[in-house]
Amino acid sequence: MSRTFRLTLAQLNPVVGDIAGNAAKARAAWAEAKAAGADMLALTEMFITGYQTQDLILKPAFQKAALAAIDALARDCADGPAIGIGGPALRDGRLYNAYHVLQGGKAVACVLKHHLPNDAVFDERRLFASGDVHGPYVVNGVRIGSPICEDAWHADVAETLAETGAEILLVPNGSPYHRGKPNLRLNLMVSRVVETGLPLIYLNMVGGQDDQVFDGSSMVLNPGGHLAVQMPQFEESVTHVTFHETDEGWQAEKGEIAPIPPIGEADYRACVLALGDYMRKTGFSKAVLGLSGGIDSAIVAAMACDALGPENVRCVMLPSAFTSAHSLEDAQACARALGARIDTLPIGAVQEAALATLSPLFAGTESGITEENLQSRIRGLLLMALSNKFGEMLLTTGNKSEMAVGYCTIYGDMNGGYNPVKDMYKTRMFLTARWRNENHRPWMKGPAGEVIPERIITKPPSAELRENQTDQDSLPPYEVLDAILEGLVEREASVEDLVAEGFDRATVKKVEHLLYIAEYKRFQSAPGTRLTQKAFWLDRRYPIANRWRDAT
């Protein structure tokens, strides 16, 4: 009779800093594993602390608390399956990102991460020492190798584990989402399977942490790179997988193959999950936002309703003398369709009072952008007052195109605690609005149907800060602007590269100039959901004071 090995995979949502809560999640998953007759429960990278901790992990008291929680977990879960759990480790005064294997009331192995990512959103060389590559550990007679996250993106660790006798590769991860990430992971893990001839479990965490969204999408690959199990994207899940020893090595039984949604749906869900988790993990349950009758605020309102429920979302119209009747109508229609509360606070009186106060100093000057921006700043002031009074987090609604070129007012419409669409270009906003109108999923707490009125999607975008204003008065058409920004930001293309692609040189230079001079605004902007590999925060770090311009 062939040997079997039963593994419980816990794709869960830990909270950074909630060591006791994360340990409780681990205990609950262990109880499920025990009831299922598992040999081992596998949890994700740095699970006990949550991920990413950034410099919090450098605090000795935090390290001590995490290690104490792992020791307690070992003692409390001594009479059942082994546990693999990510957490810190200390060796000779050095701090490591580690994977602890617990069995029989104690730690029986501790794997130290070797390759420390130091690009994109990761800065692990600042935090951890690099561990030596070593051989597999043994659980109930099966030799398991655990490359930790980045270790599996390189061939050497998996090859060493195979050469030293590993029979199964179990890879614990904290791998955040960006567009195309599931396919990238699959291709890399298939490479590790083909190189080693071993089955591989890719176990990833799920949930939002500040700007990052961990999307799960855990999977089990059999030798040859064949997919045996695909866990869902963006959902907590506990899955039991049974491996059988065969003449060709260990093979996993076929299980659920959850579909990975297309990018448009994945982006939207990432924004909803990130917003909901940011609210929950920072202690908020209700949100407020300015609803202008434009597409950006309408999409954020829909995301907020889907994340929190319409009963927990307050929309506010803040009309000025330049606000069109159709904008008010569209905002009201959107709020009604979503089932959210909507209030109206006209800003005219406050604007007049502010201008009267400033008039002695403004005397002899012409009215212009200062007076336009004053309207936005009054709106920001009133929305923040509502946020403070009622404990509702203010959501800001600027898209990536606006954030890139500074088409936003600091201390005005940029006010807020979170921006779920910060990494979504304007042209994609239109696609997102249509997708949400045409689709509804069980995870959405908002209603089905057309929640964003058609006129919001089709009318020319406008800040409505002066008579007959449109965005295209100051900016190139969004399809042109976004294509140039995609080159400058996402691809780090030169001006000459973009001119060669057919763009007008003067337009490219103008966009480049706007991009650089808006850095100070982005530095002070609210965090927002990361959807790309060049999100404005940790992915793209540029100086604020910067005189360099591309001379080509």
The set of catalytic residues is 45, 113, 149
Cβ atoms within 10 Å, residue 93: 6
Contact 7, 241 (CB under 8 A): yes
Residues 469, 184: Cα–Cα separation, whole Å: 43
Q: Which of 99, 77, 67 is nearest to 86 (CA)?
A: 99
Q: How far is CA 252 from CA 222, 228, 319, in A?
A: 6, 6, 61
Can you read off the two tokens belonging to residue 502?
């057919």
- Compute and round to an integer the Cα radius of gyration of the chain: 26
Residues 308, 411: Cα–Cα separation, whole Å: 26
Residues 548, 516: Cα–Cα separation, whole Å: 9
> Could you tell me whether strands 94-103 and 106-112 are parallel, antiparallel, or unpaired per DSSP bridges?
antiparallel
Can you read off the two tokens belonging to residue 116?
């420390």
Contact 229, 238 (CB under 8 A): no
CA dihedral 141, 142, 145, 146 (to 10 degrees): -90
Residues 539, 537: Cα–Cα separation, whole Å: 6
Residues 408, 290: Cα–Cα separation, whole Å: 14
Can you read off the two tokens belonging to residue 230?
């695909």
The residue type of 257 is I
**Omega before 375 within 30 of 0, i.e. cis:** no
